[in-house]
Amino acid sequence: MSDSRLDDSPTHTPTNLATDAYKVSHSFETPPPDRRRPVKGLLFTYIMTYGGAIVSLFNPFYGLLVYICFAIIKPSALWHWSVPIGNYSRIIGVAFLVGWVLNGCGTVKLGRAKPIVFGLLGYWFWMMLSTALSPGPEAGWGTIEHYAKIVLPFIAGLTLIDSIERLKQLAWVLMFSTGYLAFEFNLTYYSSGTVGRFIGFDANTLSILTVAGCGLCFFHGLFDVVTWRRWLAFLAAALIAHIPMIGMSRGGMLAVAAAGVTSFLLVPKTPKYLWFFGLAVVAGLFLAGPSVVEEFQTTFSDKNELENEEYGRIYMWRACAIEMMKHPFIGVGQDRWPIVSTEYGFTENKDAHSLWAQTGAELGVPGLAFLLLFYGCTIRRLLRIIKTPSTPLDLQTIARMVIVGLTGFLVAASFVTVEGFEIPFYVVLLGAGCVQVSELAHTGMSNEESCAATTETQEHGSSDRPRTPPGKKVTV
pLDDT tens per residue, range 88-144: 999 999 999 999 999 999 877 888 899 999 999 999 999 999 999 998 889 889 999
Answer yes or no: is 83 within a domain. no
Residue 341 has pLDDT above 80, yes or no: yes
27 part of a folded domain: no
Residue 374 domain-assigned?
Answer: yes
Please give the pLDDT value at position 452.
46
Q: Give yes or no for a contact between 428 and 116, defined as CB atoms under 8 angstroms apart.
A: yes
Q: Which residue has the higher pLDDT, 361 or 10?
A: 361
Amino acid at 368: L
Question: How many domains is the chain built from?
Answer: 1
Q: What confidence category does residue 30 fall into, taking pLDDT thresholds of 50, 70 and 90?
A: very low
Model pLDDT, residue 414: 84
Q: Examine residue 284 and state whether it is found in any structural domain, yes or no.
A: yes
Give the list of residues 6+ apart from residue 475 with CB closer than 8 angstroms, or none. 163, 444
Instruction: Check if the beta carbon of residue 67 is closer than 8 Å to that of residue 96.
Output: yes
Among 29-38, 106-115, 414-423, which is the least confidently predicted range?
29-38
Q: What are phi and psi of 201, to 5 degrees?
A: -100, 145
Q: What confidence score (pLDDT) does residue 287 get?
A: 67
User: Which of the four pLDDT bands, split at 50, 70 and 90, describes residue 450?
Assistant: very low
Where is pLDDT greater, at 243 or 24? 243
Q: Which domain holds residue 429?
A: 109-439
Predicted pLDDT of residue 132: 93
Q: At what angle do helices 114-132 and 141-158 cross, to 10 degrees?
A: 160
In-domain check, residue 262 = yes
pLDDT at 371 over 70: yes
327 falls within a domain: yes
**What pLDDT is recorded for position 5?**
33
φ/ψ region of 201 (left if φ > 0, alpha if ψ in -120 to 50, else beta) reads beta
| Band of residue 224 on the pLDDT scale cut at 50, 70, 90 | confident
Average pLDDT, the chain: 79
Of 375, 358, 361, 366, nearest in space to 419 by CA? 358
Residue 435 within any structural domain of the chain: yes
Q: How far is CA 145 from CA 19, 127, 152, 203, 296, in A?
A: 10, 11, 11, 26, 37
Q: How confident is the model at residue 10 (pLDDT cuts 50, 70, 90)?
A: very low
Taking the complete model, does pTM exceed 0.85, yes or no?
Answer: no
Decide if 261 is inside a domain: yes
